[in-house]
Structure 1
Amino acid sequence: MTAAHGNAPQLATDLLALHQAPEILTVVNCWDVVSAKVAAGTEGTRALATASHSIAATLGYPDGEQIPVEEMLDMCGRIAAAVDVPVSADLEGGYGDAPETIRKAIGLGIVGANIEDQLKPLAEAAAQVEAIMAVAEREGVPDFVLNARTDAFVMAGDRDPVEVLADAIARGKAYLDAGAPVVFVPGRVGEAEAAALIDAFGARRLSLICTPVSLTPARMAELGVARVSFGPFAQRVALTAYQQLIEGAQRGEGLPGDVRPLN
């Protein structure tokens, strides 16, 4: 057994409270220590979440569990050690053994996680949620914030949208019943779908992602969404600014006037 890292139990309790609070929890995902420090040092930041796609890209791997789990966990642990706020880790589908991956993450100071269901049979996916929460309790972090992800929307393909929504609702309710405190439904979730999900799960139990075509975080907050994250888009914004700097430099331009020091 790996003991919970430092003050992980209290950080988990704090993170859970942030999801249950009346105001939406906004997390702009980080991917390495310096991005985590910038985020944590920005006024208003109350918690951090990593982006698995961004960490994989940083270390030279494609998305989709192509990165060795040890390398993913090492970066997540470095991020958690570098900041004082709770850190939730995007751990994809769990790298073949989700409960064991969560156990190792807790030992590194991680107090919440995204785990994809990858549209496994519902009974299997719900049992995985239950096993993860049991591991967290054994590791001394009963308030571990599992952001149980269903891929119903992102893997919808040409399925009937009504069927997709019904599947997301059934899966989310099963994960909540299995002990997850919040359900993550990424993909093209419009206002009607978000309202239906919240009606089924209850207020402050739904987590969404902000994309160029999604509802705004402000509207999500009005609907009763618990948490909004930005996934790999935060890294893309940073790299777009970097590319624009390079293009400007090649035109003979200097630095923009609002460059901030690193924390």
Structure 2
Amino acid sequence: MNDTLSARALAFRQLHTDPGCFVIPNPWDVGSARLLAQMGFKALASTGAGHAFSCGLCDGAVGRERMLAHLRQMADATDLPLSADLENGFGPEPETVANTIRLAATTGIVGASIEDGSGDRHAPILPLALATDRIRAAVEAARALPFPFTLTARAENYFVGQPDLADTIQRLQAYQEAGADVLFAPGLRTREDIAAVLSAVDRPVNVLMGLDGVTLTVADLEAMGVKRISVGGSFARAAYGAFLRAAREVQEHGSFSYTNEAISGRDITRLLRGTRS
């Protein structure tokens, strides 16, 4: 297991140093993970929102123990490196975040992200000093692991409705100094904002796509210097959107034309046969 984990961890690190950028899609359950692996993606990242929806919960309501169990299943589902959405570390204190990293590292993941959101709608972003101490504690925990763990630090300003580019950059720079391997500010929507972040830091930058109205492509982002592209909960939302449209068609019109757009059971089976049973 240690050899396998180390090999996955090294492969994940290599993706961040190879030329160009790569897409790290976000499955929300074992089935979606296996399908994405079969399609040829090189790494996967969990989505806290997508998993919460699959549990009938709102984003952020899963809790640490349930999330760890989910990550064990996801890490075992494919042979690909898996990075975990560990939300805000499941507690405000740096030691809580460090302990979350240590516990999560036993599930088979080889990387994770920690965000600086507080969960408090009145003050949704943690103070910079505390947020930086939390990343520093996460880095120290990650460096003590017996395999190279890739830690991503997230600045949540744009994601929580506080689109302050200067503060976002200041936070990412502080997290860089604290030792984060990858930097991430979800919610950036324009070339100009993404370019400003890229020019202000010297670590690999992850950009979230799958945002309404954003038309940037993989080629666009690669040309700008983005290293990693994720889709967050948007694949899960796309799947649930199709499910709800189908249900509304049956409920409101009594028809079943949604099956014209559905993948066949035979095609799903064909894809899944290429993954581990």
**Do the two structures share a fold, i.e. TM-score over 0.5?**
yes
Larger relative contact order (CA 8 Å, sep ≥ 6)? 1
Q: Does 1:147 align with 2:152?
A: yes
Q: Does 1:53 align with 2:49?
A: yes
Q: Per the alignment, in what secondary structure is the counterpart of residue 107 of structure 1?
A: coil
Q: Percent identity?
A: 33
Instruction: Work out the number of aligned pairs and report it.
Output: 251
For each residue in 1:50-76, what CA deviation from the matched residue of structure 2 results, as whole angstroms up to 9, or x when unmatched?
Answer: 110111111122112x21211111111
CA distance 1:156–1:258, change in 2 (3 Å): closer
**Contact 2:188/2:194 (8 A) holds in 1:** no
For each residue in 1:202-238, what CA deviation from the matched residue of structure 2 results, as whole angstroms up to 9, or x when unmatched?
Answer: 3x62111111223333211110111111111100111
Instruction: Measure how far apart 1:261 and its partner are.
Output: 1.7
Return 5+ residue gaps in structure 1 as ranges. none
Alpha-carbon distance in 1 for matches of 2:107, 2:3: 9
Once the two structures are superposed, the pairs formed by residues 100-179 of structure 1 within 5 Å of their partners are 100-118=99-117, 119-141=125-147, 143-157=148-162, 164-179=164-179
Q: Does 1:21 align with 2:18?
A: yes
**Contact 1:172/1:201 (8 A) holds in 2:** yes
Q: Per the alignment, in what secondary structure is the counterpart of residue 16 of structure 2?
A: helix
Instruction: Measure how far apart 1:244 and its partner are.
Output: 4.0
Alpha-carbon distance in 2 for matches of 1:244, 1:26: 28
Instruction: Measure how far apart 1:128 and its partner are.
Output: 1.5
Alpha-carbon distance in 2 for matches of 1:224, 1:190: 14
Return 5+ residue gaps in structure 2 as ranges. 118-124, 273-277
Instruction: Measure how far apart 1:6 and its partner are.
Output: 5.3
Q: Does 1:255 align with 2:259?
A: yes
Matching residue's letter, 2:194: A
Which residue number in structure 1 is paired with residue 193 of structure 2? 193
Instruction: Measure how far apart 1:8 and its partner are.
Output: 2.1
Alpha-carbon distance in 1 for matches of 2:152, 2:195: 19
Alpha-carbon distance in 1 for matches of 2:134, 2:26: 25
Q: RMSD across aligned C-alpha pairs, in angstroms?
A: 2.0
**Contact 2:83/2:110 (8 A) holds in 1:** yes
CA distance 1:191–1:87, change in 2 (3 Å): same
Alpha-carbon distance in 1 for matches of 2:78, 2:45: 12
Which residue number in structure 1 is paired with residue 275 of structure 2? none
